[in-house]
Amino acid sequence: MATPFVAGTRGAVLHRGLVDLLGEEQVLWQKHDLQLYEYDGAVDTATPDAVVIPRDTADVANLARFCSEHNVPLVPRGAGTGLSGGAIPVEGGVVVSFARMSRILELDAANLRAVVQPGLVNLHLSTAAAPHGLYFVPDPSSQKACTIGGNVAENSGGPHTLAYGVTTNHVTGLEIVLTDGTIVRLGGKAHESEGYDLIGLFVGSEGTLGLITEITVRLSPLPEDKRTVMAAFPTMDLASEAVSAIIASGLVPSAIELMDQLATVAVEASVGAGYPLDAGAILLAEVDGPRDGLDDHRARIEELCRANGATSIRVAETALERDRLWAGRKGAFAAMGRLAPDYYVQDGVIPRTRLPDVLRRIAEVGERYGVRIANVFHAGDGNLHPLILFDGSLGPDVLRQVKAAGVEILRACLDAGGSITGEHGVGMEKNCELPLQYGPDDLAAMLHVKRAFDPAGLANPAKIFPTPSRCREFSLHAARSV
């Protein structure tokens, strides 16, 4: 086995070895190039020693073998839109950009399947499938930029996963490169497979078990029609009660989204979606499927919204109106730049019935820390996205305070019987908080699984699990001893 590269001198030596292995055109190593890969959509940064842009699975396998021989970490990266620091090279090493592995390898309309490379942009798959009357259901707000590989790594959701499920419900096969260079195939086009659900294990593993190089996904028939309703409420409490009433009625809309007034003001200035600026909360609900019965479902939603205090209701009459309403919701994060230079987004999940209580606690956190917090979230499944607004140019103490406020929001979600993440992942953003939700035995069991696939710990290190270098309260003794 070759001698590991020495930290601090690793960059230049690593560059020469990678160029010899893959060629100059696939390796980035100069400072101005590496700076582009220091960050994703989160707030932390770290510099890689090199960036490799592979062309195919063979390149990834060769790279993994090389890095295994030299004890170099591997950090997979899609479009860099992740919101938990999943693509940040905390311990240096090689960032593996899948930008050139972005093809649809097969579109099998007859079997409702597509085989794609990890760098394919989410929306491009649905665009390609549309002429066949099909689409890829998971639709994160960043779907115009985010990649299928990133969606698989984070088990991403989106507004329309309330009825249809998150990414794991739409993946049937994976090709994986382990950190020793072994290529493994899991599943395929079949509806079911025997034995352990290893595909489910890899979906949402955030690159900590290996590198995904090929994905087989389930395509779904485009709904015959849709009905989209926007309802304005004087308060978030009333809007939250309307959400509970809709679900309790037996209706399962394809999406139910909420935005508070602060978020609405920013969205209107940015997108002009037509939301009323004087509303305390905006609710977007959509039902889709066979045309017969949709108007009845829409009317029932309107009735329940009015019964719970809606002050105005608007129904999208055309596809253009529907697109405008959804453009506002999907552009909400980007619109925050009109309110503050920076934002820090959380991703807790709570039972729907606890929405009013937790939103009040979030408001209290904002008051206590002196920050504004805009709320934009998937109300139907209780997936909150509080956006803490701040100005990072005022110094590191500001960011520390913002992160402390974020931890308090996560604690509020756990106190309500929820979870610290729904679709953004744990990454390096929440790994220090993972023990708030899981005990040492739980974490030890998870580490057993990681070590089975990645015994050397080179797959996206310092993600998901607490690390002594970053987490002040590192109490993972049971996990370390196994």
- For 41-96, how does the pLDDT look when each residue is reduced to its tens digit (9 = 90+)? 999 999 999 999 999 999 999 999 999 999 999 999 999 999 999 999 999 999 99
Is residue 425 a part of any domain in this protein? no
Q: Is the pLDDT of residue 192 over 90?
A: no
Give domain status of residue 234, yes or no: yes
The answer on 60 and 19 residing in a single domain is yes
- Domain boundary among the residues 71, 97, 123 is at 97
Residues in the chain: 482
* 474 vs 253 pLDDT, higher one: 253
Supply the pLDDT for residue 473: 56
- Collapsing DSSP to helix, strand or coil, 106 comes out as strand
Within a domain: 2: no
**Res 2 pLDDT > 80:** no
* Structural tokens at position 150: 């990133």
258 and 324 inside one domain: yes
Residue 187: what pLDDT?
95
Contact present, 371 and 402 (Cβ < 8 Å): yes
CA-to-CA distance for 280 and 127, rounded, in angstroms?
36
CATH (domain of 327)? 3.30.70.2190
Asked whether residue 48 falls in the same domain as residue 117, the answer is no
Q: Are residues 92 and 57 in the same domain?
A: yes
Asked if the structure places residue 152 within a domain, the reply is yes
CATH of the domain at 356: 3.30.70.2740
pLDDT digits 0-9 by tens, 334-366: 999 999 999 999 999 999 899 999 999 999 999
The mean pLDDT value for 377-401 works out to: 95
Rounded to a whole number of angstroms, the distance between the first and last alpha carbons of the chain is 26
Residue 426 in this model has a pLDDT that exceeds 60: yes
CATH of the domain at 45: 3.30.43.10
- At 477 the pLDDT is 41
pLDDT by residue (tens digit) across 95-150? 999 999 999 999 999 999 999 999 999 999 999 999 999 999 999 999 999 999 99
Please check the confidence at residue 481 and state whether its pLDDT lies above 50.
no
Q: Coil, strand or helix: which one is 202?
A: helix
Position 429 pLDDT exceeds 70: yes
pLDDT of amino acid 343: 96
Q: Residue 161 is part of a domain; what is its CATH number?
A: 3.30.465.10
Q: Which two tokens stand for residue 278?
A: 């004087």
Query: What are residue 311's DSSP bridge partners?
Result: none
Residue 5 lies in a domain: no
Number of other CB atoms surrounding residue 31 within 10 Å: 8
In the block, tokens 């809606």 appear at 310
Report the amino acid identity of residue 34. L
Please say which residue of 334, 363, 379 terminates a domain: 334
C-alpha–C-alpha distance, residues 349 and 137, integer Å: 21
Would you state the structure tokens that stand for residue 257, as one six-digit string?
Answer: 């989204």
Please give the average per-residue pLDDT across 221-247, as a whole number: 96
Verify that 190 and 281 share a domain, yes or no: no
Residue 19 lies in a domain: yes
Tokens 């699984």 locate to 449
Predicted TM-score of the model (pTM): 0.93
Residues 65 and 28 in one domain: yes
Task: State whether 236 and 215 are in the same domain.
Answer: no
pLDDT value, residue 480: 41
**Cβ neighbours of residue 74 under 8 Å, at least 6 residues apart?**
63, 64, 67, 93, 94, 96, 179, 211, 458, 459, 460
**What local confidence, expressed as pLDDT, does residue 4 receive?**
52
Residues 114 and 201 reside in one and the same domain: yes
The single-letter code of the amino acid at 100 is R
Token code pair at residue 463: 């993600």
Written as one letter, the residue type at 455 is P
Residues 194 and 250 in one domain: no
What sign results for the dihedral spanned by CA atoms 92, 119, 467, 410? Answer: positive
CA dihedral sign, ordered 9, 11, 17, 19? negative
> Span 205-220, mean pLDDT?
98
* Banded pLDDT at 195 (limits 50, 70, 90): confident
330 and 245: one domain? yes
Most distant CA pair in the chain: distance in Å?
A: 71
Q: Which residues lie closer than 8 Å to 104 by C-beta, 6 or more apart? A: 114, 115, 116, 117, 120, 124, 125, 128
Strand partners, 29: none
| Secondary-structure percent of the chain, ordered helix, strand, coil, rounded to 5 | 40, 20, 40
Q: What angle do CA 463, 400, 421 make, to 5 degrees?
A: 40
Do 215 and 232 share a structural domain?
A: no
Which residue type does 230 have?
M
What does the alpha-carbon distance between residue 40 and residue 80 come to, in Å, rounded to a whole number?
5
Shortest CA distance to 107 belongs to which of 98, 93, 117, 99? 117
Side-chain-side CA neighbours of residue 228 (13 Å): 18
Please report the DSSP string for 314-338 in residue order.
EE--SHHHHHHHHHHHHTHHHHGGG
Domain that holds residue 33: 10-97
Sign of CA dihedral 447, 216, 117, 385: negative
Question: Residue 1: is its pLDDT beyond 90?
Answer: no
What does the alpha-carbon distance between residue 401 and residue 398 come to, in Å, rounded to a whole number?
5
Classify residue 423: in a domain, yes or no. Answer: no
Split into its structural domains, the chain has a count of 5
CA atoms of 22 and 428, how far apart (whole Å): 29
64 contact partners, CB below 8 Å, separation of at least 6: 74, 177, 178, 179, 180, 181, 211
Read off the pLDDT of each residue in 399-403 and give the average, rounded to a whole number.
95
pLDDT tens digits, 439-473: 999 999 999 999 999 999 999 999 999 988 788 65
Query: Do the domain assignments include residue 159?
Result: yes
Domain limit, last residue, from 221, 240, 273 = 221
365-374 confidence digits (pLDDT tens): 999 999 999 9
Q: Rounded to an integer, what is the distance from CA 264 to the centroid of its chain?
A: 22
**Chain-wide mean pLDDT for the chain?**
94
Q: Do both 369 and 320 map to the same domain?
A: no
| Positive or negative torsion for Cα 232, 233, 235, 237 | negative
pLDDT score of 5: 53
Whether 479 shows a pLDDT value over 50: the answer reads no
C-alpha 360/C-alpha 363 separation (Å) is 5
Amino acid at 164: Y
